[in-house]
Structure 1
Amino acid sequence: MEKREELKKRIMDEMLTDHYNALDRNFDTAKRFIGVTAEGKVDVKVKDDLNGKYQILLYLLGKLYAKEAGLTDTESVGSKELMDELGIREGSLRPWIKELRDKNKIKQVKKDRYMHYIIPTNLIETTLKEVEEKMKKKY
């Protein structure tokens, strides 16, 4: 039993991920690219400068911030919301979603009868660094 308690302590000390910490640590970078409204909607500030895949990633990241702020109940986003908020047609959205899922950049979750998407918290920093690189190349 003592070994089990020791393992439990090690897991809590060394493996426990902190969703809040990742959002806090990357806050200054994230706010350059996204904003959130009081209604929990996400504003991708650099939408015109990035392709649809990066717009989707930033939108999902923005939902994490909106949920953490208590502005929305969920960090997951459905296809309709992505199409409406980003102005992406379904014919373009589906291949981008599939590619992002296949590359493990987003996860698919079932919510009610529909599929929704989230960005894993362990990809927050990587995603923002990729966006920064894309933006540097743009200008």
Structure 2
Amino acid sequence: MAQVPNLLWHCITESDREHCDVTSIMYQATSWDKPRRVVIVRRLDIDPQECLCADWLWEYEAIATTLDWSGEDVWHFYNFRGNAEKHVALQPGVRQWTAGRLRRRLFHLPGILVRHARQWTIRLPVYAKHRSLLMLHAAT
């Protein structure tokens, strides 16, 4: 099993609503005749105040390229070319959201898995139904 190197991330955008880092490595897949540069971009598109630990919320993109541009320029050049989200049905305020962000905002809610009378149920906080309905209404 190959070892993953320690990656040196470079911040390319940081705001209250989004944080984006980029790095690159050389990689050779078994079917490739030579190694290629892979630009890796990670994005955190939530308000940091919304959760205590955002480590598992990063979204990653990997772009194999022969271009020797900066990682940020490669990402901007290829940005959103491979995404298949359909934004037509979304309200203007959420059209730029990725599928992952929509999924997290609509479906990721804290809950407790409880077994009672040989049945499993999920107990959600009181605000969960209201929050989900508001987000669904905002998105469509």
Query: Normalization by structure 2: what TM-score?
Result: 0.25
Return the index of the structure with the highest Cα Rg: 2
- When you count strand as a share of all residues, which structure comes out higher? 2
- When you count helix as a share of all residues, which structure comes out higher? 1
* Larger RCO (alpha carbons 8 Å, 6+ apart): 1
Query: Normalization by structure 1: what TM-score?
Result: 0.26
